[in-house]
Amino acid sequence: MRLSNRVNRVVCVAAVLGACLAAGNAAAQDSANADAVKHLSSTYVADGDTWLRGNIHTHSTESDGSLPPQEVVNYYAKLGYDFLMISDHEKLTPVAGLDGKGMTLIPGSEISAKGQHLLHVGANTHVLPDPDRQKVLDLIKQDGGIAVMNHPNWQASYNHCSLEVLNTLQGYTGIEIFNGVVVYLDGSELATDKWDRLLAKGRRIYGFATDDCHNPEQHAGMGWVMVQSKSRAVDDIVNAMRDGRFYASTGVAFEMIKVDGLTVTVRAANAQRFRVCADNGKVLKMADGPDLQYTVKPGKGLTYIRIEGYGPGEQTAWLQPMFIE
Ligand SMILES: [Zn+2]
Ligand SMILES: [Zn+2]
């Protein structure tokens, strides 16, 4: 009886201890799982692909540009670009007959009549302007190309394309966060404010920099994209942009973009300063270049982070958002 009681007690203590250990392990496991599922989702690939420099917003004499298409191509080739899209207003300027001078020529247009301007990138068919921009976006999707909403903060209103419209429209790949020609016009060439508002809602929208070149002497080489592409083929370049494998630049060049769990490591030799931004444009960190390592603290309720690099003068580069998943 006594012995039996003692045995029972020992079993009981062991059971409680076991339960405690099990509970402790479960708690540890839960927190490990919580950390394990949280990571930064990057659009960039580790290596293997080539970085190509291109401008997807250029006009020629086929609309309101100063030079004929071939001369525009010649001008950009001399600047060392890898690809170019001639984006005339309401016109799919034929590029098949042009000499690319070593560059890939991407067919496309700028749809600008009857509403907000947008680029049709990698166009197979000519999409006509419709005041219902959702219809235009649907046609671009059917065509197989991608759509980029242009210069959202152009004009004296600083509101060519409002946040409300950007929130409502579906199916566009990105917005111009830098548009070169607007430097010379009313409004702001930048639109990272609207970009951050869209991203904070979880929208996968990518940031583009373009020249919107009307006169190469004045506008060529202001803003471009660096695309991480499998090859120089049109489809590979367009698909890389569709998937966000590019960054926008006005001069800063990233050499390394590495993501591991919740940590991002970047290097840009000509970046003197970095900013890490998050939801609605909140600045999480500012640091001197050319190297940056940043780890997201879990539990802050952030949707994404993105990194900007600042070089000499007005040179900047904007990485695509990395969503916290
Ligand atoms: Zn425009
Ligand atoms: Zn334009």
- Whether residues 100 and 158 fall in one domain: yes
- Shared-domain flag, residues 235 and 209: yes
Amino acid identity at 256 = M
- pLDDT, mean over the chain: 91
Indicate if 100 and 22 belong to the same structural domain. no
Contact 105, 99 (CB under 8 A): no
pLDDT digits (tens, 9 = 90+) for 212-245: 999 999 999 999 999 999 999 999 999 999 999 9
Closest listed residue to residue 113, CA positions, set 159, 156, 163, 63 = 63
How far does residue 20's CA lie from ligand 1's centre (Å)?
66
Tell whether omega for the bond before 290 is within 30 degrees of 0, i.e. cis.
yes
Cα 177 to ligand 1 centre (Å): 13
**CATH number assigned to the domain comprising residue 140:** 3.20.20.140
- Residues 27 and 103 placed together within one structural domain of the fold: no
- Token digits for 156? 């004296």
How confident is the model at residue 47, as a pLDDT?
Answer: 78
Cα distance between residue 70 and residue 216, in whole Å: 12
| 108/173 same-domain check | yes
Highest-scoring range by mean pLDDT, 2-6, 34-38, 283-287:
283-287
Reported pTM: 0.89
Is the pLDDT confidence value at 320 over 70?
yes
Residue that is written with structure tokens 């060392």 in the block = 80
Q: Is the pLDDT of residue 311 over 50?
A: yes
Å from CA of 91 to ligand 1 middle: 13
Q: Are 91 and 224 in a shared domain?
A: yes
Does 265 fall in a domain?
Answer: yes
Domain limits for position 163? 50-324
- 232-286 pLDDT, tens digit per residue, is 999 999 999 999 999 999 999 999 999 999 999 999 999 999 999 999 999 999 9
Closest CA to 307 of 297, 293, 296, 321: 321
What local confidence, expressed as pLDDT, does residue 79 receive?
Answer: 98
Position 37 scores a pLDDT of 65
**From the CA of 89, how far away is ligand 2's center (Å)?**
7
Q: Which is nearest to 37 in space by CA: 252, 261, 232, 214?
A: 261
Q: How far apart are CA 220 and CA 66, in angstroms?
A: 12
- Whether the CB-CB separation of 190 and 180 falls below 8 Å is answered with no
Q: How many domains does the chain have?
A: 2
Q: Which residue has the higher pLDDT, 183 or 11?
A: 183
Q: For residue 44, which of 268, 218, 264 has the smallest C-alpha distance?
A: 264
pLDDT in tens, 46-94: 877 899 999 999 999 999 999 999 999 999 999 999 999 999 999 999 9
Q: Are residues 110 and 231 in the same domain?
A: yes
Residue 243: closest CA among 225, 222, 263? 225
